[in-house]
């Protein structure tokens, strides 16, 4: 019941990290029926395109040996070796295409499903593989029953096919046994091709079904619970609480640096209590005033307090303060739309400074 409950809770699709981790451990979808289909297909191709010519060649070679035994006298060891080498080459001509077809079709069937990779996890000794209890649980599990069903289906199909084909060809096969050997081989080849062709269609059906079932089962086994998804996001992106705390600390540091810059301001433009923007203008530094600090509510009051404490002029202009607070970021030059209004305030600051110098 616990396993069923755990599977029911796995409702989320596996993440990219879960899929990549599974691939690194060798857990990839692989249908065993696809290579079997490729082997049957290679057998049919061999029987259709290569074996007839190969049998003809072998038959001619054997006919020469039996009809002209004088050319192959076996009187010494080298003579026997020469005959065996000759027969070996004849057999190689017949069997080499089959080996190449089986190898190439098998490789294509395997590589088309997954690219090869070295996975040490697969060869690591695991005592669970030697456990009879574990073996029985795998045999009687859903995948084990599906494998048994596929095997039973193939055995039944092959048995039925062979029965009906041999039944229909029974009398013609008996007749061919008393005729020319070449006729017997041709008849046998026809029967084999019929059997292999029907088996090919049966294995193709099983391979297609198993291919999609394997991927569906693999994807379902990798599904995650919502808690697992959240934990993985925390590991990959960091704990949201920690990240939020870090962002808060960064904002506090930036705010303290900004407040410290207010002492360097040339003037402060404020909405009486809600907004405050501190500007610095020195001809040798910038062509236009720069916003070095800005704030709202409590920070605005703090900016005004520092400005008044350091004798920095504070101008109350609510529309200008609100506009500059919304449009200009810190350490940025003010846009040209504010030049005229700010220039008038700077002129007043310079006029006040000049008046103070004359008074002194």
User: What average pLDDT does range 126-152 have in this prediction?
Assistant: 64
> Do the domain assignments include residue 105?
yes
Q: Which of 50-64, 119-133, 263-277, 322-336 has the lowest mean pLDDT?
A: 119-133
Regarding whether 215 and 115 lie in a shared domain, the answer is yes
Structure-token pair, residue 66: 């039996």
User: What average pLDDT does range 206-225 have in this prediction?
Assistant: 86
Percent over 90 (pLDDT), the chain: 2
Q: Domains in the chain: how many in total?
A: 2
> Do the domain assignments include residue 9?
no
Regarding whether 280 and 205 lie in a shared domain, the answer is no
Identify the domain containing residue 204 by its residue range: 28-221
Regarding whether 307 and 199 lie in a shared domain, the answer is no
Q: Which of 165-179, 230-244, 297-311 has the lowest mean pLDDT?
A: 165-179
> Do the domain assignments include residue 47?
yes
Q: Which of 158-162, 214-218, 261-265 has the lowest mean pLDDT?
A: 158-162
117-152 burial code (b ≥16 CB/10 A, e <16): eeeeeeeeeeeeeeeeeeeeeeeeeeeeeebeebee
Regarding whether 181 and 61 lie in a shared domain, the answer is yes
Domain termination site, one of 175, 204, 221: 221
Distance between CA 351 and CA 360 in Å, rounded?
14
Q: Is the distance from CB of 159 to CB of 118 less than 8 angstroms?
A: no
Check whether 298 has a pLDDT greater than 80.
yes
Coil vs helix vs strand at 247: helix
Distance between CA 206 and CA 203 in Å, rounded?
5
> Do the domain assignments include residue 97?
yes
pTM beyond 0.95: the answer is no
Regarding whether 316 and 215 lie in a shared domain, the answer is no
Distance between CA 158 and CA 21 in Å, rounded?
40
Domain termination site, one of 171, 199, 221: 221
Distance between CA 157 and CA 36 in Å, rounded?
15
Q: Is the dihedral of CA 207, 208, 210, 211 positive or negative?
A: positive
Regarding whether 117 and 211 lie in a shared domain, the answer is yes
Q: What is the pLDDT of residue 1?
A: 43
Distance between CA 230 and CA 77 in Å, rounded?
78
Q: Which of 197-201, 272-276, 354-358 has the lowest mean pLDDT?
A: 354-358
Q: What is the pLDDT of residue 282?
A: 83
Q: What is the pLDDT of residue 2?
A: 46
Cα 305 → chain centroid: 58
Coil vs helix vs strand at 347: helix
Q: What mean pLDDT value characterizes the chain?
A: 77
285, burial (CB in 10 Å: exposed 0-12, middle 13-18, buried 19+): exposed
Q: At what angle do helices 77-111 and 33-45 cross, to 10 degrees?
A: 130
> Do the domain assignments include residue 273?
yes
Distance between CA 116 and CA 124 in Å, rounded?
18
How many residues are given for the chain?
Answer: 360
Q: Residue 356: name the closest of 313, 293, 308 by CA.
A: 313
> Which CATH number belongs to the domain containing residue 332 in this structure?
3.40.1690.10
């Amino acid at each position: 019941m616990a396993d069923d409950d755990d599977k029911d809770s796995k409702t989320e699709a596996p993440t990219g990290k879960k899929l990549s981790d599974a691939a690194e451990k060798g857990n990839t979808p692989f249908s065993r029926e696809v290579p079997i289909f490729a082997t049957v297909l290679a057998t049919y191709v061999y029987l259709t395109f290569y074996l007839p010519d190969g049998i003809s060649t072998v038959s001619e070679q054997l006919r020469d040996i039996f009809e002209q035994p004088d050319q192959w006298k076996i009187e010494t060891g080298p003579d026997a070796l020469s005959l065996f080498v000759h027969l070996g080459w004849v057999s190689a001509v017949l069997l080499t295409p089959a080996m190449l077809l089986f190898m190439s079709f098998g490789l294509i069937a395997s590589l088309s499903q997954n690219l090869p990779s070295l996975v040490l996890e697969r060869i690591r000794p695991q005592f669970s593989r030697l456990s009879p209890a574990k073996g029985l649980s795998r045999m009687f599990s859903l995948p084990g029953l599906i494998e048994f069903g596929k095997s039973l289906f193939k055995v039944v199909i092959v048995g039925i096919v062979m029965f009906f084909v041999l039944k229909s060809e029974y009398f013609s096969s008996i007749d061919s046994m008393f005729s020319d050997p070449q006729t017997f081989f041709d008849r046998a080849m026809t029967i084999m091709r019929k059997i292999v062709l029907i088996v090919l269609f049966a294995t193709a059906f099983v391979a297609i079904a198993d291919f999609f079932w394997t991927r569906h089962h693999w994807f379902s086994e990798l599904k995650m619970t919502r808690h697992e998804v959240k934990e993985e996001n925390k590991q990959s992106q960091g704990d949201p609480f920690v990240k939020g705390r870090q962002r808060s600390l960064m904002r506090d540091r930036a705010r303290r640096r900004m407040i410290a810059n207010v002492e360097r301001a040339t003037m402060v433009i404020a909405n009486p209590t809600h907004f405050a923007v501190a500007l610095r203008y020195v001809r040798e530094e910038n062509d236009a005033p720069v916003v070095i600090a800005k704030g709202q509510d409590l920070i605005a009051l703090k900016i005004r307090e520092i400005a008044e404490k350091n004798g920095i002029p504070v101008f109350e202009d609510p529309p200008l303060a609100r506009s500059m607070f919304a449009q200009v970021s810190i350490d940025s030059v003010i846009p040209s739309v504010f030049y005229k209004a700010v220039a008038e305030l700077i002129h007043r600051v310079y006029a006040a400074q000049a008046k103070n110098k004359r008074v002194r």
